[in-house]
Amino acid sequence: MLISLDHVTKTYRGNDQPVVAVNDVSVEVAAGEFVAVVGPSGCGKTTLLLVAGGLLGPDSGEVQIDLQDPYALSADQRARFRAERIGFVFQQFHLVPYLSVLDNVLAPALVTGERDAADRALALIDRFGLSDRRNHRPGQLSTGERQRVALARALLNDPRVILADEPTGNLDGENSEDVLQALQTFANDGGAVLLVTHDPDAVAFAGRTVTLDNGQVAMQTGQEKVASD
């Protein structure tokens, strides 16, 4: 399994009552699988994604990404682990506003420092139809273009896993389809996609759907689509 969440629980302890955001959830995503996580707002979808991405340590349970527990690593090692194994795509794109398209795509290479990163970045930019935009700033791009830049950035270090949080939330139908198609392709190429969404079209792309309700898995549907390897 590329993504394995086993009886994961996460509770937020603020000034008020503790809130159990994720309660004993177990999800597994194999290589080549595209899994959608759905549920009402506040059901714990994003928390689950952050826990899976090594950004938010669970209170209990076990997390494994590409057979490695990210929380067993030091903070710096975990950061590098994320850069090498996980690609993130967010609804708000989270592009660096003062960097060009090319530099945004290259941002993960700040960590890995690979020499051929620029070539790969240009190839990705070309693949997502942004060649004529590569020197533009995010503010000069359409929302669809921004999300494609975010996708290219997520793919730069050739990750094993993509975690996407509402990636089509701000996009029109055509752009949504492009993004989902790209995720599908990534899964088809042997990666694992865990997609948090409200979008029914996005769910349609997923091979399997996990429904969360009140922090717990309410239902799992669909066929597992496991990569041949």
Choice from 1, 19, 59, 80 touching other proteins (CB under 8 A): 80
Stretch that binds other proteins, among 61-69, 84-92, 208-216, 221-229 (CB under 8 A): 84-92
Q: Which of 1, 19, 20, 55 binds other proteins (CB under 8 A)?
A: 55
> Minimal distance in Å, beta carbon 204 to other proteins?
26
CB of 166 to other proteins, least distance (A): 10
Q: Which of 7, 60, 96, 126 binds other proteins (CB under 8 A)?
A: 96
Which member of 30, 37, 39, 47 binds other proteins (CB under 8 A)? 47
Stretch that binds other proteins, among 87-95, 124-132, 178-186, 211-219 (CB under 8 A): 87-95
Any contact of residue 83 with other proteins (CB under 8 A)?
yes
Which of these ranges, 110-118, 176-184, 185-193, 196-204, lies near other proteins under the rule CB under 8 A? 110-118
> 34-38 and 208-213 as β-strands: parallel, antiparallel, unpaired?
parallel
Residue 215 · residue 59 · CB < 8 Å: no
Least distance (Å) between residue 224 CB and other proteins: 28
User: C-beta of 28: minimal distance to other proteins in Å?
Assistant: 22
Three state DSSP letters for the chain:
CCEEEEEEEEEECCCCCCEEEEEEEEEEECCCCEEEEECCCCCCHHHHHHHHCCCCCCCEEEEEECCECHHHCCHHHHHHHHHHHEEEEECCCCCCCCCCHHHHHHCCHHHHCCCCHHHHHHHHHHHCCCHHHCCCCHHHCCHHHHHHHHHHHHHCCCCCEEEEECCCCCCCHHHHHHHHHHHHHHHHCCCEEEEECCCHHHHHHCCEEEEEECCEEEEEEECCCCCCC
> Rounded to the nearest whole angstrom, what is the least distance from the CB of residue 22 to other proteins in the complex?
13
With beta carbons less than 8 A apart as the criterion, state whether 55 and 213 touch. no
Residue 107 touches other proteins, criterion: CB under 8 A: yes
106 makes contact with other proteins (CB under 8 A): yes
Residue from 2, 35, 36, 88 in contact with other proteins (CB under 8 A): 88
Q: How many CA atoms within 13 Å lie on the side-chain side of 24?
A: 1
Q: Which residues make up the interface to other proteins (CB under 8 A)?
A: 46-47, 50, 53, 55-56, 75-76, 79-84, 88, 90-92, 94-99, 103, 106-112, 117-118, 153, 165
